[in-house]
Each structure stands twice: as C-alpha cells, then as structure tokens.
Amino acid sequence: MTKRYLLLLSALLYLSSLSFSYASPAMSGGVWFNYRYVSDDDRDKETRGDIADEALILYVDDNQKDRDWRFSGELRIGPGSFTDPANNSSGDNFTLHKAWVAYEVDKNSEIKIGKSQVPFGWKTVNFWPGDILLGGYGDQMDVGVKYTSSANKLSYDLAYYHADDWGETSTDSTDDNRHWGSSTTYRKVQTVVANADYALNKMHTVGVSLQAGKLQDLTTSPFETSGDHSALNLHHYGYFDAITTRFQYIDVQRELPGSTTDIENWRAALEVIYTSGKTSYYIDASFADTDTTGNSSDAVSSHALGLSYNYGPGWMYFEYLTQDGFIGTDGDIGEGDFDAVYATIDYYF
C-alpha cells in the first residue's frame, strides 16, 4: 500500500512540475488528522483515545479568464480520506473526492461533467461527526452531468448521475459512505436530481430537492437494475447577522433489489451556527423514524456540538457527538448508542 502511495505522489509531483504555454493550473494541498475518544470503547478507556484519521489532500484547479472551460479536482490519500476501501474504486485509502470539467454557458449558468456534489438540500457544517442521520442524503459526490443556473432570486440545478462513483461496483459517495449498499449487494445508478432555492428576502431562503433513480443488483449476473429509489427534500436557510440557521425534512423511499419489503422513512435536521471573529460555534441536530414494515426501531436522534477556529493556514475543530441511532447500508433506521469527542486540525498550502 505504501508503494502505491509513493508511485501516485511521484506521478502527481512530476505533472505539477510541467509547464504548458496554454495552461497554468493552480495546485495546492492540505493535511488533516484527528484525535478521537469513544466513550464506550474499552480500548479508548485504557489509552485515553487515539490520534488517527490522517490524510493528505491534493487540489488541482484550472480556471482561466479567457476560456469558457474550467476544471477542479481533489485527491485524498490516507485513512482519513472519508472513503471506504471495501467499496470504492481504488480498493485502498485514496480516492478522487471530486473531478469535474465545467463549461460556462453564460455568466449565470454552467454545466459540470464528472464527479460533483449532488444538489440535494444542504450539507452539515461540522467536520468529523459528518452527516449523521442524514446518511445517504448529505455530502454526496456522484458521477454524472449537472446543470446549474440562477435568475434574480431563484437558483436551480438539474442533474443526471450515472452512478455514485467511478467503476462498475463502487458505492463510495465520499464523504457520505455506507448508506447505498456495498460492492457485493447493490448500488445507486441512473439517478435524476432537481433542486431549486428561492430567496424570499435577505433573511430567508426556501428550497425543494427531488431525486429518483435505479438500484443495481450486484449479487448475481447480469447485475440488473431491478430496484428503485426516490427522495423529497424541503429546506430553509435563515441569515440573522452573526447567526445562520438551516432546516430540512427528507422523505425516503427505496425498493431494494431482490427484496419484497420497501424501505420507507423520514429524516429531519436543524443546524444553528454562530460566528464571532475567527470562531464559529455550531450544533447539528438530526432526527429520523422508520415506516418500513418489519422494522421495530423507535424514532432516533443525534446531536453534534462543536466549534471551529480559523488560525490562518487552516482550522481547528473541537466536537462532541451523541446519538441513539444510525442509518444502515439499506438506507433504513437502526437503534444504537454512540458518544465520542473529536479534536481535529487541518493545514492548507
């Protein structure tokens, strides 16, 4: 694994040293690592936690004023890459988090081709706790084509994602993993997404997102797209001087390949951010309940409290997560307690 990392880095450094008369891409990088303490983990009780989840991040951006085309890519290497080696396209702890080519249609519109963020509601502000009970509908990066535009107070997106990652079996949505099957069960394919946000005034913006597509059976050849999925998202943004609020409600429907039971559940999330100078304080609260036949789980909730501090070349994060439930690979609700403390630092150059 180390040898593969070295070869990959050598190739990237070589490419970055080349100079072309017709292009001047900007290359930058970053690194982060994390202290974590899980309260009910016997090892952490003995060792008082661990320092892990290290990652090296490389960025390539080409955005020239005299061209209608631009590119953006992000490569992550290391255990903290928010990727799943068992179910990604590399089979290791490195991944192309994003890689898209964009064409500027006009000053307010563009088309992106490649791996880009799915325009579905909003993404949580916290660093390490992540999407929590939004799992599967949070910070998704899928492969396809996306059109983005705006006019006056309205902004909107229309997208088609052929799959949730590169290759034939990967289910890695980076950062929102392990909520869309696995490389040996099923994956999300042929998904259409629409999103619209309307600014009522300077303080309030409301929006709606829709997605629907197929689920591909990866258990037996010929790997038919015999399942379906759909979801509705209603969301709101509030801006009140130093305070930002966000709310969203999600209705989830999935018909898994080879199953006679439909997955049905709802999610809700509230986020409050208070910013003072270089410091932001935030809480991410999410809730979920299931309507799936045969699932006896009660309603569950999660809360992530934290702060981030901009120290110059990066940010420091201090976060606490507590939850009594989770989202499984089938996209449904499960019960289970989890409490953890995280302290993370990143540095960009």
Domain of residue 342 covers 35-51+104-348
Model pLDDT for residues 256-289, shown as the tens digit of each residue: 999 999 999 999 999 999 999 999 999 999 999 9
Phi/psi-derived region of residue 114, left when phi > 0, alpha when psi is between -120 and 50, beta in every other case: left
For position 8, what pLDDT does the model report? 57
For position 173, what pLDDT does the model report? 81
Residue 18 CB neighbours (<10 A) = 8
For position 175, what pLDDT does the model report? 82
For position 241, what pLDDT does the model report? 95
Average pLDDT, the chain: 93
Model pLDDT for residues 97-152, shown as the tens digit of each residue: 999 999 999 999 999 999 999 999 999 999 999 999 999 999 999 999 999 999 99
Among 2, 111, 91, 15, residue whose Cα is nearest residue 58: 15
- Does the pLDDT of residue 7 top 80, yes or no? no
Asked if residue 193 belongs to a domain, the reply is yes
Is residue 227 within 8 A of residue 256, CB to CB? The reply is: yes
Residue for token digits 């989202």? 327
Model pLDDT for residues 54-96, shown as the tens digit of each residue: 999 999 999 988 899 999 999 999 999 999 898 888 889 989 9
Asked if residue 13 belongs to a domain, the reply is no
Asked if residue 79 belongs to a domain, the reply is no
CATH of residue 135's domain is 2.40.160.10
Domain count for the chain, please give it. 1
According to DSSP H, which parts of the chain are helical?
A: 2-17, 42-47
Asked if residue 96 belongs to a domain, the reply is no
- Does the pLDDT of residue 19 top 50, yes or no? no
- Work out the pLDDT band at 24, boundaries 50, 70, 90: low
Asked if residue 69 belongs to a domain, the reply is no
Is residue 247 within 8 A of residue 284, CB to CB? The reply is: no
Token readout for 283 is 């809480």
Q: Which residue has the higher pLDDT, 96 or 15?
A: 96
For position 20, what pLDDT does the model report? 45
Model pLDDT for residues 140-167, shown as the tens digit of each residue: 999 999 999 999 999 999 999 999 999 9
